[in-house]
Amino acid sequence: MSKNENNETNFGYKNVDKTEKPEMVKGVFDSVLDVAGGTGDLSILMSDLVGESGEIILSDINEKMLKLGKERSLDKNKLNIKTAVADAENLPFPDNRFNCITIGFGIRNVTNKLEALKNFYRCLKPGGRLLVLEFSKPEAPLISDLYDFYSFKILPKLGKFFAQDEESYQYLAESIRMHPSQEEFKQMLESVNFKNVSYDIMTAGLVTLHIAEK
């Protein structure tokens, strides 16, 4: 292997010099919006990716959860995470603002999903990416039946026993069933002009990652 090959690494499909990759990654994810980020789990994970000169805005409509997310990020010394109270359907950010927008397990709770997707598209820079991680319904009949049984018969009872809150856990199961299928959500993304839309079904169909570009 040549010396040049030893100094190379992957950046997508390209081979680049190892010393160049950090800056290239920072250029892709220099500015990130984490929508409905709540307690900041995704933001904290992405903090090192954008680096000290990058910026992550952790947003949520729930001020109490956002405060907790800010406290957790400071506890972990993630100083590049800022917070903003924001509704996914009416984001208070300028056009073409972010390299990447993420929303983890939150899109199913949005009342007008199309309006939220339009806002995501507006706030992304040209070429920016949208990453949507969401629960989904398994397609395999056996797994689907077991999942339904657990979700509607067991999970609410556990919520009642451990958290004295059966209704919230019942809503969780119902909201997952009411969320559009992978193909339906793909069509929704394409209808607001996202391109290169794809999805990756994970954990036997229980979770799906949707990816789209502006």
Summarize pLDDT for 45-90 with one digit per residue, the tens.
999 988 888 999 999 999 999 999 999 999 999 999 999 999 999 9
Task: Assess whether 57 and 74 both reside in one domain.
Answer: yes
Mean pLDDT over residues 22-32, rounded? 58
Task: Assess whether 172 and 92 both reside in one domain.
Answer: no
Residue 21 confidence (pLDDT) above 50: no
Q: Which of the two residues, 63 and 25, has the higher pLDDT score?
A: 63
- Is residue 87 exposed (0-12), middle (13-18) or buried (19+ Cβ within 10 Å)? middle
Task: Assess whether 63 and 156 both reside in one domain.
Answer: no
Task: Assess whether 48 and 95 both reside in one domain.
Answer: yes
Residue 23 confidence (pLDDT) above 80: no
| Mean pLDDT across the chain | 83
Residue 150 confidence (pLDDT) above 60: no
User: Cα–Cα distance between 209 and 37 in angstroms, integer?
Assistant: 16
Q: Which residues 6+ apart lie within 8 Å of 9 measured at CB? A: 15, 16, 17, 18, 21
Range of the domain at 144: 138-178
Task: Assess whether 14 and 81 both reside in one domain.
Answer: yes
Residue 161 confidence (pLDDT) above 80: no
Mean pLDDT over residues 149-159, rounded? 61
Residue 180 amino acid letter: P
Work out how many domains the chain is built from and give that number: 2
Give the per-residue pLDDT at 49. 87
CATH of the domain at 71: 3.40.50.150
Give the per-residue pLDDT at 204. 79
Task: Assess whether 95 and 151 both reside in one domain.
Answer: no
Q: Which of the two residues, 18 and 73, has the higher pLDDT score?
A: 73
Give the per-residue pLDDT at 22. 46
Give the per-residue pLDDT at 7. 64
Q: What are phi and psi of 111, to 5 degrees?
A: -65, -55
Q: Could you tell me the two tokens for 13?
A: 């499909």
Of 120-124, 127-131, 167-171, give the lowest mean pLDDT range: 167-171
Mean pLDDT over residues 109-124, rounded? 96
Give the per-residue pLDDT at 25. 44
- Helix axes 113-123 and 182-191, enclosed angle (nearest 10): 50
Task: Assess whether 153 and 189 both reside in one domain.
Answer: no
What DSSP assignment string belongs to 99-153? EEEEEES-GGG-S-HHHHHHHHHHHEEEEEEEEEEEE----SHHHHHHHHHIIII
- Per DSSP, the three-state class of 161 is helix
Give the per-residue pLDDT at 178. 80
Q: Which residue has the tokens 């509704």?
A: 87
pTM (2 d.p.) = 0.79
Residue 27 confidence (pLDDT) above 60: no
CA dihedral 122, 127, 133, 136 (to 10 degrees): 90
Task: Assess whether 53 and 81 both reside in one domain.
Answer: yes
